Structure 1
């Protein structure tokens, strides 16, 4: 992805992304994208988000599809970025935003059917089921200085944690299982 400034969000002279409402940022991003123009799935998501109230975030994702936002320095500038998960049917849209030159800028846009999404250090790690028995797909997104965005750095098949059911042949409506605990005590889950 290419970093993309959001033109309709007010400038943030302090550079503190915590001062912004995550809901307002997502609403602005969707409006600027023309409701994501990605078909019925995204139009329905945009409609649900437009009806969200700020206090609903992370409570009932069927009513308001935004998960509780996470904050972490993803680009090494010693200021937090905003990471937001948006549930849509059996999928999760993961978006990240930073403030660059006082302007809110989208730096990540990923679409997955995750078992887990983790923030570890400055990486975003998405673990998804596969049709290969005994394995999950692990995708790591990291900061790319040249592109000024979070880019897919690594994608690999990893063994499922022992004692977990195989995701082989699992339907998309199957209840997600938790991914393995991360060894990084500072890891956070979206």
Structure 2
């Protein structure tokens, strides 16, 4: 049952009397100190001319159709990942130049991939495949990794569109680890700065129809050695010689 306004007012009067008599904690709002003044962004070099050409993009910026691979019932689980990589890699070098020795050796090793989807026979460089709906269309997409002779990992993601196999992401780097977080693919890669690593988040872009690196940062590596803490010099007053003589 709700109390009337008269009962509430009476309770407040009693509480005020108790506070006036020194009973209880006065409470109330307390200052947390001065609030720093908000500063808007400062635009540097506002008169810079527009660039004549875009910078080199990191990773794929457009989808690529993969020919020669059928997707039964539009289900990528029914497609051999090795067949997908073989068809795509031979037609689309991606970040590699076709004349690179690492690319040529990878293509040669792809011929050793077995058709049992295990990648355990011969020199097959295709790692275990993973599946996740990255595009948000309700269907699993295919994520594959290809080990290359230059100790890099070539990562490619494929989607199915109207029965057509489409590559929606491709990148190659000295990868430390790969994580899936929701519909994002997070790549951890080696940095040239000792003790640090790159974290790049790839996300589906519905306008571009491809995965794009939406966030790229350099962070302290969890396995980086901690800086050594210098040992404090012993105090003269606590030296063994003086202590013994006291």
Counterpart in 1 of 2:170? Answer: 109
More helix as a share of residues: 2
Q: Give structure 1 regions of 4+ aligned residues with deviation exceeding 6 angstroms.
A: none
Distance in 1 between the 2:190 and 2:82 partners? 29
Change (3 A) 1:42 1:121: same
- Aligned: 1:28 with 2:81: no
Counterpart in 1 of 2:65? Answer: 5
- Which structure's CA Rg is the greater one? 2
Please, what TM-score do these two structures have when normalized by structure 1? Answer: 0.78
Change (3 A) 1:38 1:151: farther
Distance in 2 between the 1:149 and 1:34 partners? 17
SS of residue in 2 equivalent to 1:111: strand
Change (3 A) 1:77 1:34: closer
Instruction: Select 2:128's aligned residue among 51, 68, 77.
Output: 68
Number of aligned residues: 162
| More off after superposition, 127-136 vs 76-85 | 127-136
Please, what TM-score do these two structures have when normalized by structure 2? Answer: 0.61
Structure 1: stretches of 5+ with no match in the other structure: 167-190
Q: Is the CA contact (8 Å cut-off) linking 1:56 and 1:64 kept in structure 2? A: no
Structure 2: stretches of 5+ with no match in the other structure: 1-59, 226-246
Distance in 1 between the 2:207 and 2:92 partners? 24
CA displacement at 1:49 relative to structure 2: 0.6
Counterpart in 1 of 2:230? Answer: none
CA displacement at 1:58 relative to structure 2: 4.6
Matches for 1:10-89 after TM superposition, within 5 Å: 10=70, 12=71, 14-33=73-92, 37-55=98-116, 57-59=118-120, 63-89=123-149
Change (3 A) 1:110 1:38: farther
CA displacement at 1:51 relative to structure 2: 1.6
